[in-house]
Amino acid sequence: MKVQQNAVNVLERTSSYLKAGLLKKQPAWYDVVAFIPPSKRFVREPRLVNPSTNKEIAKLPEFAEQYNSENRSYKTRASHRERQVSGSKLFAAPKLKYAEDKLREVFYEQHPWELSRPKMLVENTGIQDYDWSTIQQLGKPLDGESVVQRTLYLLRTKAHQELLAAYDQARFEFYRLRIQEEVQNQVAQEEAEMFGSVFGPSAIDFGLEKEQKIIDIWKQKAIDQSEVMSARNINPSESWSAQESQSQSDEKAEDTKELQL
């Protein structure tokens, strides 16, 4: 079957149409496709090296590694399973790994309550010119991403050779600024209360109050059920006789009502 190349030749055909005057206006995608032209190679090439780790993806063991010390022999042929595993990884896309993702995972696993802080999501280009020589930035609240970027800055500037040491320094700077922020908020609240401001319950207090009401209802139901069960366990015959007498009195009351009607 002939390979269809009309899609990959769209740049050449559009250029010829523009030169011939068939197209009066240049398409909006023309510069982008000219800067990054589509590939014309339709053959899948094996990836022998993972670009993320610079390690060989598929490699059969060397002859010296096939020595069996028990029977003092060498394995001269690779099994079908070894060849299949090594061959299947040649055309698979390598997994991209970034140090930022690992740092974010570790930080939020150690500080899960940081995820409960309110965060404003604003659409932007994602490119911010922040100077991470300090962890505190103007226009950006202090959060876990500050710790991640500060750690990477310390590694790039060779302030620390090890990732753990750079992460610890960024984390301790984060703790110091977070404590300072909480103290400032507490002092501001106390000053406002001193001048007559009244603050309502916080979200945590409101939730605890609602939870306590449900707990009180459950507690009262449990007390009533335990009293009924204890009364039946003391003398079950009296409880049954009391129920029968109550049912008989109810039947007599119904009969008298019918007679009156």
Taking residue 148's Cβ as centre, other Cβ atoms within 10 Å add up to: 21
The better pLDDT of the pair 59, 34 is held by: 34
The confidence score (pLDDT) of residue 58 equals: 65
The confidence score (pLDDT) of residue 61 equals: 63
The confidence score (pLDDT) of residue 181 equals: 93
For the chain, give the percent of residues with pLDDT over 90: 37
The better pLDDT of the pair 239, 211 is held by: 211
**What's the rounded Cα separation, in Å, for the pair 121 and 119?**
6
Residue 105 pLDDT exceeds 90:
yes
Residue pLDDT, tens place only, 135-147: 998 888 899 999 9
Residue pLDDT, tens place only, 87-96: 566 667 767 7
Query: SS3 for 180-245, per residue?
Result: HHHHHHHHHHHHHHHCCCCCCCCHHHHHHHHHHHHHHHHHHHHHHHHHHHHHHHHCHHHHHHHHHH
Which tokens hold the place of 181? 């922020």
The better pLDDT of the pair 20, 5 is held by: 20
The confidence score (pLDDT) of residue 16 equals: 92
pLDDT (mean) for 6-19:
87
Sign, Cα dihedral of 226, 228, 229, 230: positive
The confidence score (pLDDT) of residue 198 equals: 86
For the question of whether the overall pTM of this predicted structure is more than 0.85, the answer is: no
pLDDT (mean) for 156-171:
91
Among 41-45, 166-170, 231-235, the minimum mean pLDDT is found in 41-45
The confidence score (pLDDT) of residue 127 equals: 55
Which tokens hold the place of 260? 């009156």
Residue 37 pLDDT exceeds 80:
yes
Q: How many residues does the chain have?
A: 261
Q: What is the mean pLDDT of the chain?
A: 80
Cβ partners under 8 Å of residue 83, min gap 6: 60
The confidence score (pLDDT) of residue 84 equals: 62
The confidence score (pLDDT) of residue 190 equals: 92
Cβ partners under 8 Å of residue 94, min gap 6: 47, 50, 51, 52, 57
The answer to whether residues 30 and 14 touch, using CB atoms and an 8 Å cutoff, is yes
The confidence score (pLDDT) of residue 39 equals: 79
**What's the rounded Cα separation, in Å, for the pair 204 and 179?**
20
Sign, Cα dihedral of 20, 23, 25, 30: negative
Residue 56 pLDDT exceeds 80:
no
Residue pLDDT, tens place only, 190-209: 999 899 888 888 888 899 99
pLDDT (mean) for 166-187:
94
